[in-house]
Structure 1
Amino acid sequence: MRVLAVDPARWVLVLFGLLCLFGQHVFIHHLGGAGLDLPFNAITWLFIGAMLAAGAFALQPVLVTSGFWWYLLLGAAMLWLPFFYAHAEPTRMQALPRLLGLSGGVLFYLVLQQCRFNASQRRRLLCLLLGLATVQMLFGLVQFFALPADNWFRFNTRVRLPYGIFMQRNVMSSFAGSGVLLALYLLVVVRAGRARWLMWLWCVSVAVMGIVLVLLLQSRAGLFSLLAGLLLLFPVCWLRLITRPQRWLLLAMVIFGLSIGLVVLLQSDLPRRMLEVYGELGVRYEIWATTLGVIVNHFWLGVGYGGFEPAYYAEAARLLITTGTVPQMPDGLHHPHNEVLLWLAEGGAVTLLAWLFWAWGLYFLLRHLPWSERLALVALCLPLLGHLMSEYPFGHSSVHWLWLLVVLWFFDSEHGRGRIRYRFPVWPGRSLLLLAGFGTMLYMASGLQTGYQLTHFERERFSDNTRLTAVWNPWFWQDRRELYQHSAVLAAALAAGDEERLKAYLAWSTPVIARLPRGSLLHNHLVALLALGREQDAQALAGRLRLEYPHDRQFSVEALENVKTKLAAGEAPRVYRQLTQPVGSATYYQNWYFD
């Protein structure tokens, strides 16, 4: 057996442990959003970059891969193809972080394979994932039961949805469900020797906490995928547990967790949401139906990476004209609440082939597993894959993507059939990993500093302009930073009646609203048009927006007349400086989010 203390791969394991037990739980105030707009995702990728760099020294002249990894790689390569389509040029850069995150995950999977961990070390990685889930669950329970109304986290105790670090209840729910199923799986696969009872206590506690949280969070995707996962995993656990008391203790634990969760739910102020949450699909049905219309109309090439938002609202306007039915859809919809539909709408037929290729790769992996391990793998992936069909989990939480990769790698490595080995010179691979690792670390570290500056700039009511020049990474939160700068230019131009600066603002905003049609940007654009006397252009744009955003009153005839009246009286109309309005259960920024 290899000794971990003298193996270069030990640093990958140590860094993974630091991420799971400490790094992923660092809370930094932010302005909402998705992806790298959320600091905890930047921290996740900071550690992944460090693991890529550390993994460079675990490379050997014989490269170890698997058939499943090749499916991952070729599927990811296929998803890169639409990035180079000519019609995607105006919006493609908005999808670049998503594609880089996908590629970074495939590279991280390869690094784990090169570490050549033994069975005990592979189980240790799963235990570290369970440690990550444990801390987040404790965080969620403290939020629900212990935090006062005025707390440093600015958790909204009136909403009382314990979302942990994720700031979104559905993301927390799928994560907690994944933790429950992993705890049950580790309960029967880890042989802890004399500390067996401690392992049992840990897994039982995590399973109970997770079930309680999933019930409190009232997420359909989280609850249904957890129940389906339990049905798949229970036969595996029941057969592998040796004694009858262990089996009945397992059953009692699940029933106890469900009972506690239901009691707390009924005693709290949350039951009023139960029927509306679990009874109907609501606006999601309309979003999916409209998105399918986008897919059908652009099946072969898609609308272009990054182009979902404008294409969706154009399709919604077409439906409004043809049917006369006013839709329920929200504003600022940058994803269709289904990650598969997002890729299909933007990338077309190639992305469909890539997803089918991945599905075949998963079948290839399952085919080489014993039947009990097949059930276990599907069960452990269900909360994440189920959430994939109703939300945008991997775009919202990088640790969800990391969790899925580690679980797949574990089963791929645990049953080593289909191992593929290649001889190759070490230095190209090592150079690539070092470059990717240190580049990721540098970008994320400088991005965290940029996010800190811009968050405090907005919290301080946009008063300290030195924060805009103090950023280290001009590409991080670029649209948000440019809006801060150009909205200040627009406000000054309106106050001074400066036509040149108004034209400069329009020159910036015209291509931006074409790819990022957010309400704040569109309002400012209309104000600039009216201030320049381009009423015909403003009315034409507002007429289109009334179809695309039928519930947004700032594009109504009355709103435009109000802007014109203020301009005629020499008053400055309102200028928005936020990219998006705060949404979701993460309403903690309500106390310092200003117009």
Structure 2
Amino acid sequence: MLSKFSLERTFFYVFSAMMLLGMHYFQHNQGGTGLALPFNLVIWCFASILIGLGLIKVSQSQTLRYNKTLIGLAICALGLWIPLFYPNAEFGAFALDRLIGLAAGLLLIFSIIQLEISQKQWHQMMYVIVAAVLIESLYALTQMHLLTEGNWVGFNVNSTRAAGIFQQPNVLGTFVLFGIAISAWLLSQQAINKKWQLLLILVTSFAATWVCFLTGSRTTVVALFLILPLMAPNLFRTANLSHLRWWLVSILLGVFAPTLPELFNSNEARDALGGVTTAYRVTMLEVSWQLFKQQPLLGWGYGAYDGVYHGAQALLNQQSLIDGYHFNVAHPHNELAYWAVEGGLLPVTALFAMAFLIITSMLKQSWAKGLFYFAILFPSLLHCMTELPFYHSAVLWILFCTLISQILKNEEIVVKTFPAKFAPKIFGVLIPCFTIVFMATGLQAIHKITQFERTGSTNAALLEEVINPVPLQTRYEFNAMSFRLNAALSLDLKEELKGYLAWSEKLLKRQARTEHFYNRSVALRALGLNDQAKANDKLANDIYPNFERVSYKLVSATNGGEETLRQYLLWNKAEIEKTPLPQLYIHQINALVKLGDIKPAVDMLIEAQHKLPEKISLNSVPSLKPYIKIQTPS
């Protein structure tokens, strides 16, 4: 039996392994969010063990440790599950991943509270987080300044934004801000007793600040300059002033560090800060608001956001209620809007209640400490209002919950006798075992599906070798059904085509994508259902108009072969002559590149830059970049 001492120590070792090794795991993949990203599966393996240790502690001590805030959070979390049972939750199964992730986070908070982690062990855990941030910061700097073309991790060396292991720059920015905030917490605790500890904090804060700018994330930079004044009252009261001055200097140096490449080699200077225009986010929020107004009480149903968004966006543009499109939207880049559209008022109320409980817990100590703890969580909270960080990175969610548990442990803890000796221990063993098997087979699925897609999507044997497709369920089904569609077209299998249509009809209700529309039209025409195919194409063209960034006409023409693509070029050129819009030029250039007509593509780019000088550049057409060499003056 694990002793009391060894349980806490084991927790620290597992946590350290997760932060120093597990979260940096790399495996080739096709992108996405959640369990589609290999490092997230590895993180959940470690997190399940951490949860298991807390449950074993309950069995060992036969006591339950809790407080009012923890109970309140649990009640609110249950409230988020209720819309799963609404009558409109046809696609509720596709919301289970985030609901289970939410429950796992709450269970982690519960488990940490059960463990009697000493102040010294908390300090050690915080140093581990700082070290993990340093590792990712160094990796990001390597991506931007040392990796070469064709590197084994597949990083695009022409990118102006670092992403670290996360494959998403803004997520990296939020993660490294944890390093700066945790360094401040260690300063406030006066937990720096050795020179190497001070050195680790200073180097990490310098590198993390530098990386904040390399991510090109406005959200990250805004958060950086907001958390510093929020932490200041508590820091100046509690920190060693000498250490604090050095720390502030390290951050200041990090702010100026991005200009260093310009001093040594102007050819390597990268203008990272900037990012994507906020117009897309405004469009998503406008559409989400209109959807919420239509169904404020019950929402549109869990799992339905993707399906209802695109049709609503097209209709609102046609009605001139909004002006703009955004595509392939599975999340509105605002967590409150997401829950509001899918679940209505109840989830929003539950989320506000959770926020109120945590903020109240922060302020129970003093206003300065309350602001300080709020500053630690603020970057993640701000990021949740502009993107979806917890879906991109499980480690951000785990850290967020770990720090909430630290806040809750500062409250009065109630200890109650809990005589169940075996049940918590059994779950403490079963949860990690099940999770590790599930995630390991999920990694195998990612490997096989990535192989399948990168080798031309023709070797169906790779799909048959997948043991557990659940982490990539939709992608797996799409690949399998597309393969069956091609076989049915080749062999004229009418029943297979009808089966594909039945499957795609349900898929399009949940996920309106150009490739889904195109394949459906192909199947309809193969069955001689031309009128239905035309109606399908019309709907797709309404959702993905040719004058916007994603064009269904271009996708259809590209998939249709060379002759179809050349017909598209003639039609699109006529549209350009009528109305020379930027996206029409971009589609024309991309189509020419696809056909290998590089010189006409370059000529078209020159024409576009002449007519629309401030709206089109080489960066607008990445497909053309490899064929153009730009001489930078030395």
Q: What TM-score, normalized by structure 2, do the two folds share?
A: 0.83
Q: State the partner residue of 2:40.
A: 41
2:526 to 531, 536, 556: 531
Shift of 1:556: 7.9
Equivalence for 1:421: 416
- Taking structure 1 as reference, are residues 560 and 252 closer, same or farther at Cα in structure 2, changes over 3 Å only? closer
Which residue number in structure 2 is paired with residue 11 of structure 1?
Answer: 10
How far apart in 1 are the matches of 2:75 and 2:267?
A: 49
- The question of whether the paired residues in 2 share the 8 Å contact of 1:181 and 1:226 is answered with no
Give the partner amino acid of 1:81. Answer: I
1:119 aligns to what?
119
- Residue 351 of structure 2 corresponds to residue 355 of structure 1: yes
CA contact (8 A) 2:8 2:115 kept: yes
Structure 1 counterpart of 2:238, from 229, 240, 243: 240
State yes or no: 1:384 paired with 2:385: no
1:285-434 map, 5 Å: 285-323=282-320, 327-329=324-326, 331-413=327-409, 415-419=410-414, 421-434=416-429
Distance 1:297 1:419, change over 3 A: same
Summarize deviations over 1:394-416 as a string: whole Å, max 9, x none. 11111110010111111222x24
Matched, 1:258 2:259: no
How far 1:292 moved relative to its partner? 1.0
Distance 1:51 1:320, change over 3 A: same
- Mean CA deviation greater in 75-84 or 371-380: 371-380
Amino acid of the residue matched to residue 477 of structure 1? L
Q: Distance in 2 between matches of 1:218 and 1:508?
A: 41
Q: Report sequence identity in percent.
A: 26
Residues 319 and 479 from structure 1, CA distance in 2 versus in 1: closer, same or farther, beyond 3 angstroms?
same
Counterpart of 2:83 in structure 1 is 82
- Aligned counterpart, 1:144: 144
* 3-state DSSP of counterpart to 2:88: helix
1:114 and 1:496 mapped to 2: Cα distance? 62
SS of equivalent to 1:445:
helix
Q: 1:217 to 1:268 in 2, by over 3 A?
A: farther
Residue type of the alignment partner of 2:34: G
TM-score, reference length from structure 1: 0.88
Q: Name 2:437's counterpart in structure 1.
A: 442
- SS of equivalent residue, structure 1 residue 302: coil
- The alpha carbon displacement at 1:434 in A equals 2.7
- Among residues 515, 520, 523, which one is paired with 1:520 in the alignment? 515
Gaps of 5+ in 2: 565-618, 627-634
Q: How many Å apart are 1:8 and its aligned residue?
A: 2.4
Q: Distance in 2 between matches of 1:485 and 1:247?
A: 58
The residue correspondences of 1:154-173 to structure 2 (distance < 5 A) are 154-173=154-173
- Cα distance in 2, alignment partners of residues 494 and 50 from structure 1: 48
Give the number of equivalent residue pairs: 560
- 2:133 is paired with a residue whose SS is helix
Aligned ranges for residues 207-226 of structure 1 at < 5 Å?
207-226=205-224
Q: How far apart, in 1, do the equivalents of 2:408 and 2:296 lie?
A: 34
Q: Contact between 2:283 and 2:325, CA under 8 Å: does it hold in 1? A: yes
Distance of aligned partners of 1:325 and 1:346 in 2 relative to their CA distance in 1, 3 Å threshold: closer
| Cα-to-partner distance string for 1:61-90 (whole Å, 9 max, x where unaligned) | 11001222222211111100011112112x
Distance in 1 between residues matched to 2:224 and 2:478, nearest whole Å: 41
Alignment-derived partner of residue 203 in structure 2: 205
Deviation (angstroms), 1:324: 7.8
1-side partners of 2:315 and 2:269: how far apart?
Answer: 38
Bigger RCO of structures 1 and 2 (CA < 8 A, at least 6 apart) = 1
Q: How many angstroms apart in 2 are the aligned matches of 1:261 and 1:433?
A: 47
Measured in 1, the distance between the counterparts of 2:5 and 2:413 equals: 28
CA shift, 1:37, in A, is: 0.3
Task: Tell me which residue corresponds to 2:469.
Answer: 474
Q: 1:528 to 1:257 in 2, by over 3 A?
A: same
- Assess if the C-alpha contact under 8 Å between 2:205 and 2:247 holds in 1: no
Counterpart secondary structure, 1:63 = strand
1:72/1:361 contact within 8 Å kept: yes
- What is the match of residue 601 of structure 2? none
Going from structure 1 to structure 2, the CA distance change for 1:466 and 1:496 (only over 3 Å counts) comes to closer
Match of 1:540 in 2: 535
In the TM superposition, residue 270 of structure 1 has moved relative to its aligned partner by 6.6
Relative distance call for 1:553 and 1:116 in structure 2 (3 A) is same
Tell me, in whole angstroms, the C-alpha distance in 1 between the residues paired with 2:19 and 2:558.
Answer: 51
For residue 570 of structure 2, what is the aligned residue in structure 1? none
1:337/1:389 contact within 8 Å kept: yes
CA distance in 2, matches of 1:464, 1:561: 19
- Which stretch shows the higher mean deviation, 138-147 or 396-405? 138-147
Deviations, residues 209-238 of structure 1 (Å, cap 9, x unaligned): 011011121201111111111111133222
1:576 equivalent in structure 2: none
Q: Which letter does structure 2 place at the counterpart of 1:145?
A: H
Letter paired with 1:163: A
The CA distance in 1 between the partners of 2:300 and 2:131, in whole Å, is 41
Cα distance in 2 for partners of 1:142, 1:465 equals 37
* CA distance in 2 between partners of 1:247 and 1:498 (Å): 73
Question: 3-state DSSP class of the match of 2:64?
Answer: strand
Q: Is the 8 A contact 1:30 1:452 kept in 2?
A: yes
Q: CA deviation at 1:420?
A: 5.1
Secondary structure in 2 matching 1:290: helix
C-alpha contact 1:64 1:422 (8 A) present in aligned 2 = no
Which of 444, 453, 466 is equivalent to 2:448? 453
Residues 1:500 and 2:495 aligned together: yes
Cross-structure match for 1:153: 153
What is the deviation of 1:356?
1.5
Residue number in structure 2 paired with 1:577: none
State the 1:436 CA deviation: 2.4
Q: Judging changes above 3 Å, is the alpha-carbon distance between structure 1 residues 247 and 471 closer, same or farther for their aligned structure 2 residues?
A: closer
Partner of 1:171: helix, strand, or coil?
helix
Question: Displacement, 1:275?
Answer: 5.5
1:172-193 Cα shifts (integer Å, max 9, x gaps): 1111122112122213314343
Question: Structure 1 residues 519 and 510, CA, compared in 2 at 3 Å: closer, same or farther?
Answer: same
In structure 2, what is the equivalent of residue 92 of structure 1? 92
Q: Partner letter of residue 10 of structure 2?
A: W
Mapped partners of 1:562, 1:9: distance in 2: 61
Whether the 8 Å contact between 2:137 and 2:164 is mirrored in structure 1 is yes
Mapped partners of 1:419, 1:376: distance in 2: 25
Does the residue aligned with 1:9 lie in a helix, a strand or coil? helix
**For 2:119 and 2:181, how far apart are their aligned partners in 1?**
20
1:190–1:28: structure 2 CA closer, same or farther, 3 Å change rule?
A: farther
Compute the displacement of 1:430 (Å): 2.4
